[in-house]
Amino acid sequence: MTKHSIASWGGALPLALGFAAAITAAPALAQSKPPIKIGVIAEVQAIAGQSTGGGAQIAADEINAKGGIDGRKIEIVVYDDKSSSADAVRAFQRAASEDKVSAVISSYISEVVLALEPWAARLKMPFITPGAASNEITKAVHNDYEKNKYTFHGYLTSAAQAQLVCDAAKELLVDNLKMKSVAVMSEDAAWTKPLDEGYLACLPKAGLKVTDHIRFSPDTTDFTPIFNKIEANKPDAIVTGISHVGVQPTVQWKNQQVPIAMFGISAQALSPTFWNDTNGAAEGIPSLAVATADVAVTPKTKPFAAAYKKKYGSDPAYTGYTAYDDVYIIAEAIKRAGSTEGDKVVAEMEKTNYEGTIGHIAFYGKNDKFTHGIKSGPGFVTGLVFQWQNKKQVVVWPKNIAEGKLKYPSFVKLTQ
């Protein structure tokens, strides 16, 4: 896995070129086929960002062990965007123009992906996100297909996530725990605007009255006033849409013994380090996810997680699963196209029919609302809800793959 910073090569480049020129006559090099490069632009300082490159590398290793793509090996080139849209754009430009990658996998941050989408169009570069959620990503493809067809959404859209949370809430909160009301608490970010719209529409249909709708700055460090406001209206649960935060509200929920159950999406809780990051305050925290290490969402889920842990020493974060799938999706498209030319690869990616680690993956078409988003629902990617219980992520929904039942710490007052 080659890793680049955004900085230029500087004075080392002429020396490197001179050295390369001196060895070009070597027969072995002359006979070898050049690799197919896939760029991974990620937030490598974060757990989810580290998993992006790691998951992609394992897929490349597997494909290369079987001969690559028509004898050409896949090379993963990783760039650190430092969670910055500007750095991500510079990396994307470099990947395309200098490093000659054939496709790019990038970012779980919606704002970063939305900044890269126009560049995928300008450079005609196949581009897929393994973790961003904003509906605006697919909306741009739908509204101007010819321009933005190079972008694919390799994760569930915010709208799809909202519906899955509501489906799970109906079964787990309403049917099983007889809950009747919830407060919605989301960070103010691009991905949560459509998420909250979805929550406010589908939670009442699931039988849950919404008592509060709070959007807070991702820079918030003290959640006491927010919890106090929510508690005053006595909801049975708090449905969250949080990603950039997670540790602070979880620790404060536990330390302040907030007597309200948590539910929804806590993206940081998807990280395998979340229990230690919160010093065990994660006990009882659930979240929507696409895969966990110990549950066979498909026959590929557990073998990939085991391979990741063997190579990197920990379970993958959610972007590890999706980036692994994305490399296979790109590789199969290139093989079918018989080319790395952008338009040809895009045409084949649109035909994706692939069983990945997170489910059966196919993309919505040109005339669908969420063009190039992954299809969700029965027969495709259905998602799951896990809950942190005794240091482990225990899947509690849906029933067919559940390992246990939803249960909360004693300070949480349940309606039953």
User: Which of 78, 74, 77 lies closest to 33 in space, CA to CA?
Assistant: 74
Separation of alpha carbons 312 and 307, rounded Å: 9
User: Which of 332, 380, 322 lies closest to 105 in space, CA to CA?
Assistant: 322
Lowest mean per-residue pLDDT among 16-20, 186-190, 349-353: 16-20
Does residue 22 have a pLDDT over 70? Answer: no
Q: What is the DSSP letter of 379?
A: T
Burial of 362 (0-12, 13-18, 19+ CB in 10 A): middle
Question: Is CATH 3.30.230.70 the classification given to domain 159-289+383-401?
Answer: no
Instruction: Output the pLDDT for position 243.
Output: 84
Instruction: Output the pLDDT for position 100.
Output: 96
Model pLDDT for residues 240-258, shown as the tens digit of each residue: 999 878 788 999 999 999 9
* Banded model confidence at residue 1, pLDDT cuts 50, 70, 90: low
Once rounded to an integer, what is the mean pLDDT over residues 351-380? 95
Does residue 12 have a pLDDT over 70? Answer: no
Is 123 in a helix, a strand, or coil? helix
Instruction: Output the pLDDT for position 270.
Output: 85
Greatest extent of the chain over all pairs of C-alpha atoms, in Å: 78
Tokens 């240091």 locate to 391
User: Which of 33, 74, 67 lies closest to 328 in space, CA to CA?
Assistant: 74
User: Which of 382, 372, 374 lies closest to 402 in space, CA to CA?
Assistant: 382
Model pLDDT for residues 198-227, shown as the tens digit of each residue: 999 999 999 999 999 999 998 899 999 999
Model pLDDT for residues 259-290, shown as the tens digit of each residue: 999 999 998 888 888 999 999 999 999 999 99
The H or E element spanning position 76 is strand 74-80
Chain center to CA of 339: 28
Instruction: Output the pLDDT for position 190.
Output: 84
In the chain, which residues fall in CATH 3.40.50.2300? 2-156+297-361, 159-289+383-401
Write the DSSP assignment of 226-288 as a string of letters: HHHHHHHT--SEEEEEESS--HHHHHHHHHTT--SEEEEEEGGGGSTTHHHHTTTTTTT-EEE
Domain 2-156+297-361, CATH class in plain words: alpha beta
Instruction: Output the pLDDT for position 23.
Output: 34
Instruction: Output the pLDDT for position 7.
Output: 37
Paired sense of beta strands 354-355 and 360-361, if any: antiparallel
Q: How many CA atoms lie within 13 A of 93 on its CB side?
A: 11
Paired sense of beta strands 103-106 and 127-129, if any: parallel
Sign, CA torsion 61/79/287/289: negative
